[in-house]
Amino acid sequence: MAIKTLTAATLAAMISLPLASSDAQQGAWIHGEGFRSCAEYLNALKGPHGSAQTMTGTDGTKYWSEGTQYIAWIEGYISGFNEFFASDPVRGLHQVQIDGPAIDAFVRQYCQAHPESKVVEAVGFLLKSQEGQ
């Protein structure tokens, strides 16, 4: 139960506060690909929308592509958002239910228009676009 409370508190901070910047201004701490720029996201993508790409090393170990890591981060962020609001009597009724290719298409379009923005900002606009659906 303590882990769920900590996760919910952390997610609430990520959603409700402005993003932290590299010069440590006040805001939510975004870990991983979400804090990288939209330009970096677009440069990492290869293949069709929402496709996972792996490569296998000489030792048989599978490695995810950089683009796939972004998609996994985005889907995890959306899942965390849904989990956080699942018990909310209003927002819980409107879970964000969008598939990987549609998520990727939305974020790509946003990032093409706003290459200096952070990936988490693009996902925030995606979440807002899904409100009430």
**63 with 53: CB under 8 angstroms?**
no
**32 with 73: CB under 8 angstroms?**
yes
**4 with 15: CB under 8 angstroms?**
no
CA 66 and chain centroid, separation: 14
At residue 3, the pLDDT reads 40
At residue 25, the pLDDT reads 46
pLDDT band at 100 (very low <50, low <70, confident <90, very high): confident
Element of type H or E holding 54: strand 54-56
Closest CA to 14 of 133, 23, 98, 6: 6
pLDDT per position as a tens digit, 43-55:
888 665 555 567 7
Q: Which residues of 11-32 are buried (b: 16+ CB within 10 A; e: fewer)?
A: beebbeeebeeeeeeeebebee
Would you mind telling me the total number of residues written for the chain in this entry?
133
pLDDT per position as a tens digit, 19-51:
443 444 456 777 888 899 999 999 888 665 555
**Angstrom distance (rounded) from CA 122 to CA 50:** 15
